Structure 1
Amino acid sequence: TLPAEVIEVLLATKEANPKLSVQLVIRETLKHRDVPDDLPLPPSTVHRLLARHGLMSGSDSQDTDTDRRRFAFQSPGQLWMSDVMHGPTVRIKDRSKRKTYLIAFIDDATRVIPYAAFSLAENTRAFLPVFKQAIVRRGLPERLYVDNGSSYRSNHLSLVCAKLGVALIHARPYRPQGKGKIERWFKTMRGQLLIRLTNDDTGSLEALNRRLWAWVEGEYH
């Protein structure tokens, strides 16, 4: 996992210069004073990070006709998409600051958010409680479309989905088109919620999640 400060520089570099290739984003990031010039930045990792935040332009981030046909379900619950977005830092019990990760689900047909929550990790252990709450609130989906990362390819998640009768589908590497709907939701959430967070909102993980869900239910839905 990349350090939080490096992630911020990568995202800021791409946002300021949308036409930069992944290699040029890496090169510019390594020039930043907060980034060690010998830090390994694998292009595949950086590409995935930028795509997750909706920052890859051109053919890599536009929905193709094939992807629209593949993910164009008509009824609620036919397919959910899930992904993770880097969130703000929060204070925890010992008053230190920790990076957060937003784990979210979106219904392909309705754009409803079955559930979303900030966590202190982005692994399977953090993912499953959020998935459980989504099911409690909206019922079982027929299909779950997720990233190709290691946390989504765990045997535990595969076993859980198999027992529930949920078809687990993984995105193809370097092809983020199928996740366009949840990427757009992340972009909306950043523009409408994250920029308005107060110190009280980030005073604890619980406070941050209360603020998130108040926005989802009160403004987004």
Structure 2
Amino acid sequence: MSHANAALTPRHRLRLARLIVDDGWPVAHAATHFNVSWPTARRWADRYAALGRDGMQDRSSRPHRSPTKTPPDVVRKIVHLRWKQRLGPIAIAAKLGLPASTVHAVLVRCRLNRLHHVDKRTGEVVRRYEHDKPGAMIHVDVTKFGNIPDGGGHRFVGRQQGNRNRAATIGAPRSKNREPIIGRAFVHTVIDDHSRVAYAEIHDDETAATAVGVLHRAVSWFSARGVSVERVLSDNGSAYKSHLWRDACQALGIKAKKTRPYRPQTNGKIERFHRTLGEGWAFKRFYASESARRNALPAWLHEYNHHRPHTAIGGRPPISRLTNLPGQYS
């Protein structure tokens, strides 16, 4: 491959070859003129005579035959042990009587040298998908966070003070043992498959009626940004299996899709968003009350959609993948 200080770049190879083939220069004379060896000048002249201008480009130096290459049946055994038993190169080499370096080379060639390339549940190679336009598919799901008692939760103030704050929280209902019931915040989230733009609402339940209301408002929110929703993908939660959800999707002209049971990988974009949501908003900093945390969600969503670079879309913010954006959004 040519480099910055190469004597012969593809353009100069062509000039050299034309002098010899087309203009009849002696090979030794042309080699001296371009400050290269006689065999080098002869090689490029022969290649030009056989292939023309296209023959001046770099070609792969990979040999035509590799007699010592690992046999295909051994490669299959290595891949099988990696997929099904999650063994490393040393363990696989011990089982098969091979050098660990050979096993590692095979795993690199098969893109199995790192286990994050492999689905943890099935052992199969991870298959990623992305719809080709915004709105072609949206993902919906619900994640839960324990409410924060007045004064702060145990994550920041410690278990002992956290229990005191729970007991002192005003308006918290009590169990039959007079223990305070702080409850949970149910965050209903919607992610566009193509752009990763996120929409979220916090509610006190995850019933079908609440999920349908979130869907209607999310579709309107995307519509205001020039995105028409065609499909919605959910898990098999009771809200998404209800007749109310089915009827709402039909009324909106959206095709309802569901993941296979116990296969959260299919809905992986929104599962990964929930992790980001927890790290970046729910548990990022100290909140003195649940209302303070809930009030902070819109600003965090704006940061996520408009400013936070997303690695899956080339380091750009999700909103950059939406077209015809009418103004600024929150």
Q: TM-score, normalised by structure 2?
A: 0.44
Q: Kindly report the root-mean-square deviation, in angstroms, between the aligned alpha carbons of the 2 structures.
A: 2.4
> Are 1:89 and 2:173 an aligned pair?
no
One-letter identity of the residue aligned with 1:74: D
Give the equivalent residue in structure 2 for 1:117. Answer: 201
- How does 1:185-200 map onto structure 2 within 5 Å? 185-200=273-288
Q: How far does residue 62 in structure 1 lie from its aligned partner after superposition?
A: 8.2
Identity %: 28
Give secondary structure in 1 for the equivalent of 2:140.
Answer: strand
C-alpha separation between the residues in 2 aligned to 1:121 and 1:105? 16
The counterpart of 2:138, out of the listed 50, 58, 80, is 80
One-letter identity of the residue aligned with 2:144: H
Structure 1 residues 219 and 109: CA distance shift in structure 2, 3 A = closer
> Are 1:163 and 2:247 an aligned pair?
no
Q: How far does residue 136 in structure 1 lie from its aligned partner after superposition?
A: 1.8
Structure 2: give runs of 5+ residues left out of the alignment.
1-118, 150-168, 174-181, 307-330
Contact 2:264 2:271 in 1 (8 A): no
One-letter identity of the residue aligned with 1:112: V
Structure 1: give runs of 5+ residues left out of the alignment.
1-56
Quick check: 167-176 or 121-130, which moved more?
A: 121-130
Give secondary structure in 2 for the equivalent of 1:58.
Answer: coil
Structure with higher strand content:
1
Structure 1 residues 163 and 179: CA distance shift in structure 2, 3 A = same
> Are 1:209 and 2:294 an aligned pair?
yes
Contact 1:86 1:102 in 2 (8 A): yes
Give the equivalent residue in structure 1 for 2:263. Answer: 175
Q: How far does residue 94 in structure 1 lie from its aligned partner after superposition?
A: 2.7
Q: How far does residue 187 in structure 1 lie from its aligned partner after superposition?
A: 0.8
Give the equivalent residue in structure 1 for 2:218. Answer: 134
Give the equivalent residue in structure 2 for 1:59. Answer: 121
Higher relative contact order (CA 8 A, sep 6+): 1
Give secondary structure in 2 for the equivalent of 1:152.
Answer: coil
C-alpha separation between the residues in 1 aligned to 2:134 and 2:275? 22
Give secondary structure in 2 for the equivalent of 1:59.
Answer: coil
Contact 2:146 2:184 in 1 (8 A): yes
Quick check: 158-167 or 90-99, which moved more?
A: 90-99
Which of structure 1's runs of 4+ aligned residues deviate more than 4 A?
60-63, 90-93
Aligned residues: 157
Q: How far does residue 87 in structure 1 lie from its aligned partner after superposition?
A: 1.3
